[in-house]
Amino acid sequence: MHVLYEDDGGFKAATILSETDASLQVEAASGKRSKIKKSAVIVRFEQPSPETLLKEAEAGSQDLDLEFLWECAPKEDFDIPVLAEEYYGHPPSAVELTGLLLRVHGAPVYFHRRGKGKYRPAPPDILAAALAALEKKKRQAEQQQAWVDEIKAGTLPEPLARQAETLLFRPDKNTLEWKALDAACTQLHKRPERLLMDLGAFPSALAIHTRRFYAQHFPRGAGFAPAELPPIAQELPLAEVEAYSIDDITTTEIDDALSVRELDGGTLRVGIHIAVPGLVVTRDSPLDALARARMSTVYMPGAKIPMQPDEVIAAFSLDAGRPVPVLSLYVNANPDSGEILAHESRLERIVVRENLRHNQLDDLVSEAALDDAAAELPYGHVFRPLWRLAQALSARRDEVRGKPESNNRVDFSFYVDGDPEHPETARIRIEQRKRNAPLDRMVAEYMILANNLWGGLLASCGVPGIYRSQQMGRVRMGTAAAPHDSIGVPQYAWCTSPLRRYVDLINQCQLIAAVEHGVSARLVAPFKPREADLYAVISAFEAKYSAYADFQQAMERFWCLRWIKQENLRRIEAVVLREDLVRLKDAPFYTRVGTLPQLERGQHVLLEVMGDDELDLTLDCRFLDVVDTAPGTAEEVDDEPDATAAAEIAEVDAADGPDLEDRRLDTPQDETTPDDAPAGAENGAGTMAAERQPDSL
């Protein structure tokens, strides 16, 4: 005797070995023995064998008409034997009954299961809706497969092309378009971005990198609606100073300028003049909301996304030849010792005499010319005293640090000639500039001085600010003044880039209160001590700043790869950093070379370019030879990666940010940063200073 029984939602047939009141011991055709409950048994039979029963029943079930079965079935709950006898018109055989059972059980749209061996026909309205849904699903499956076939044939279906950016950057994985793309990617063994680029949905890898960034951080676009600036509430006095700014040729957001004059006894009075948008971009104002949403200007080769609207930049950028409002720090100092004798801060207006440019002056303003009073030097009456005091200030910081600062890194500037959105026709220029160039060091020193003294002013007035500190090798941002050991200052608050960085704007608004109200400023400052919103600004800023730095590094890597192609470089020189990690000698591109032998840090090597991937931002190189370097190339030895350039070198240190003074001195290069430092860890410079970014967008 054999039985057909239900087991775990399916049906099995087996031979009875023994039986009790409540259960059966059965044996399957495979020889496996099982104990089943009698309540699970649907039918007992003697012929055919259990194995034959299921085969014949499965084959016969496909011939049964589901619609006719549904019409024949009782309208209430029924047992399968009842329906089988009604359908066949005679007591069904074991094969017939099993076949009908399999057919009914396998059609949940027509028959709803009500228990073991029991079913009920679906109501007409529910059946009609279910059948319509099945038909729709069938059509969708056919459409999906048609799209997959088109993709595999090398054509991107028009509905997918229209939604390419959405599919890649904000996919709804329940849509038919995504399912088709995902299926095609699986079958072709490609990532979605790779497949879409191959099919022409994006003109280049650059478009994918930039549009992904925009989709995440600027989903509504990077432009501003026309902005109306409120009037400045007070009439600011016009200072009689001879001030100059020093920036790159492409800079439009000019934040700072310097002035100097000699007092009796050889003392110098240096003016550090900072653009003051904080006069109109006040807390919780519409302009403040715009700046807070962005947190920083975003830089990339050939373009930038400003933090402030054009109207704010036009009103407060320190462009030469017109009165502009500034927050000025005047410092009286001994130029020989670097001792600060007095300092004061003022809100005022100045007329910048000239906007000086690095590309025009760096080759002319050398240390030798600065130190030789008889040497020909443009603007020598300004640069020589500023340089003299800057050297003394740097020496005093070195005393605090306990060792001299290493300034032998190489910076790189990127210039894109042509439309950066069309890299196939644009031409990239990558130019080096030593980090210890006198003008760089001079400007950096005075920005550090301002950030230090203004941070101290906030603390002395009891006004909270946003500080960067470094103690015991740990860098953090907080609202309390604390030492920055690697810079060698008692406190360090970002205050000198209010047009380009939201933290500086916040600190400037706090400073305005301190300058105008002194010790009473804590009562009127926009942010009060221990205010939660100030911590929220820090958290949001760090997240945005890190994301922007990662994007800038990715864009630099892309343009480095384009530069290699543009120059048709098949062999390229690189500098060994550690193990198999190298940096290209003439571009800020970091990569690993698997065939690299064990070499000393700083050794130059010759590599053969095997290939590149602009989507993954990787360069495949093979070691060829060691390059004999001439004496005097020690600047390469201390070079370290500035940022996490790609997944294969994820352990390299992240850039602190694009500001010149922070890049150069926020953590000197002879400070050791752990290899596993997280993104945003302190490590000197990004590869491209904010002052050097092309401003065309």
The predicted structure's pLDDT at residue 436: 74
What is the CA angle 26-30-33, rounded to 5? 30
Q: Give bridge partners of residue 269 from the DSSP assignment.
A: 261, 332
The predicted structure's pLDDT at residue 413: 87
The predicted structure's pLDDT at residue 89: 85
Enter the tokens of residue 427: 């031409």
Residue 86 to residue 80: CA distance in whole angstroms: 10
Contact by Cβ (8 Å): 660, 443: yes
Enter the tokens of residue 621: 């190189």
Count CB atoms within 10 A of the CB of residue 504: 27
Count CB atoms within 10 A of the CB of residue 655: 27
The predicted structure's pLDDT at residue 244: 97
Residue 404 to residue 469: CA distance in whole angstroms: 19
Spatial CB neighbours of 549, under 8 Å, sequence gap ≥ 6: 643, 654, 655, 657, 658, 679, 680, 686
- pLDDT tens-digit series, residues 435-472: 678 998 999 999 999 999 999 999 999 999 999 999 88
Residue 95 to residue 92: CA distance in whole angstroms: 8
Helix (H, G, I), strand (E, B) or coil at 279: helix
Contact by Cβ (8 Å): 493, 451: yes
Helix (H, G, I), strand (E, B) or coil at 548: helix
The predicted structure's pLDDT at residue 408: 65
SS (H, E, C) 175-221: CHHHHHHHHHHHHHCCCHHHHHHHCCCCCCHHHHHHHHHHHHHCCCC
Q: Which H helix or E strand runs over 524?
A: helix 521-524
Q: Which H helix or E strand runs over 477?
A: strand 474-478
- pLDDT tens-digit series, residues 258-274: 999 999 889 999 999 99
Structure letter (DSSP) for residue 658 = S
The residues of the chain scoring below 70 in pLDDT are 407-409, 434-435, 629-697
Residue 498's closest CA among 270, 310, 248, 277? 277
Q: Please report the domains of the chain, with CATH numbers, ordered by start residue.
A: 2-122 (2.30.30.360), 134-202 (no CATH), 243-542 (no CATH), 547-663+679-692 (no CATH)
Residue 272 to residue 346: CA distance in whole angstroms: 10
Q: Give bridge partners of residue 363 from the DSSP assignment.
A: none
